[in-house]
Copies of this chain bind each other. A is one copy, B any other.
Amino acid sequence: MKRKQTLLFKKKPYVVSAYSIVGEKEGEGPLNKWFDDCIRDNTYGETTWEKSESKMLKTAITEVIRRAGKDKSEIGAMLSGDLLNQLMSSSFMARDLHIPFLGMYGACSTMTESLMLGSVLTDGCYSDNVIVGASSHYCTAERQFRLPLEHGNQRPPSAQWTATASGAMLLSREGGEISDYMDKEGKVKRQKHVRVECGTIGKVIDAGVKDANQMGSAMAPAAVDTILNHLQDTNRDIDYYDAVLTGDLGFIGKDIVKDLLTDAGLSPAALAKVYDDCGAMIYTPKQDVHSGGSGCGCSASVFSGYIYKKMKKGKLHRALIISTGALLSTISPFQGESIPGIAHAIALEAE
């Protein structure tokens, strides 16, 4: 019997607001105009990198509440996570907000994991309003997973750059009012509602990669497994979507996904048209990031910024977003372990 991994959200929860905040380097990248806030100083006025990251997540979350015109007391639950040991950014953010909190850990897959369970809570009528979010910071991740920045170590070409970024969305059972916007030619256009249609929970897949500087290769098989299961469960072709975006596979991982999906029988032309990766989009190769971006905040900010805004404007109708996580720990590589990967997919619709 084929196991169905896909959950259908009958009431299609509305993403009533979204907010993305990124660091200096990300603000200089090609997606600059899609982010809501680009900070100039990656300390964000704090005394430690961990507190800077936590503050970025807090900004994203307080902003989605404000933009949705809600009060904190109307939020039934807040689901978020980050890469730091014991979810330091999320836990300390949640301490200040006094909103019922559920901590998620899926490494860089956290944004779609939170969206999955946040949608279930909203769609199943358990909470009227739910916040989902994720964050990462280059300086906290380097210190924790690799070496302190002060060490000035050299990074191999396959290494990815952890994005200093945070993204959040507010899910609601009610879509609320929709506003108009003016397009480039000065025409007044109606914005769309963005809704969560379904989600595919990923399985942990380990392809045996042991090099912690080869995250794209480690996560790509999990992304492919989730995409194929999603298409099979929903009986859709990949070009059912206008955009299919993996989280943070970077340049190397993105190529592997294209190869593996082509091997699995998907049309290379359709893939070329709809498929991309947030880690390959957030920086230009000239920014010296080697194999592209990574980190929970990479896909969280691209989904909450680029994808959400394109959908609001009706420039994308259906998007499949797949945050991808490498579940290695700070200890497991020293114990000779390979890197398990995971990916969760969420289908968004503009209407």
A contact residues vs B (CB 8 Å cutoff): 1-5, 7, 47-48, 50-51, 71, 73-77, 81, 83-88, 91-92, 94-95, 97-107, 113, 116-117, 120-121, 123-124, 126-127, 201-206, 327-332, 335, 337, 340, 342, 344
Contact = CB atoms under 8 A, between A and B. Distances in A.
B124 A113 contact: no
A327 B106 CA distance: 17
Given A92-B337, A103-B106, A121-B120, A330 B86 contact: yes
A332 B102 contact: no
Given A73-B1, A327-B87, A340-B91, A51 B105 contact: no
A85 B85 contact: yes
B330 A95 contact: no
Contact of A91 (B7, B83, B124, B327): B327
A101 B202 contact: yes
Nearest to A100: B201
B331 A85 contact: yes
B204 A101 contact: yes
Contacts of A4: 76
State how many copies of this chain the complex holds: 2
Given A51-B335, A124-B124, A329-B88, A105 B107 contact: no
A50 B102 contact: no
A144 B167 CA distance: 30
Contact of A127 (B7, B74, B83): B7
A203 B99 contact: yes
Given A113-B102, A124-B126, A201-B77, A327 B86 contact: yes
A276 B91 CA distance: 27
A47 B332 CA distance: 12
A204 B123 CA distance: 25
A335 B342 CA distance: 32
Contacts of A120: 117, 120-121, 124, 126
Contacts of A95: 204-206, 327, 340
A135 to B, nearest CB: 14
Contacts of A50: 329, 331-332, 335
B330 A201 contact: no
A203 B75 CA distance: 12
Contact of A342 (B2, B3, B88, B101): B101
B85 A86 contact: yes
A342 to B, nearest CB: 7
Nearest to A110: B103
Given A7-B127, A51-B335, 11 more contacts: A5-B76, A7-B121, A50-B331, A85-B329, A94-B204, A95-B327, A95-B340, A101-B203, A102-B201, A117-B120, A120-B121
Given A1-B73, A120-B121, A124-B126, A106 B98 contact: no
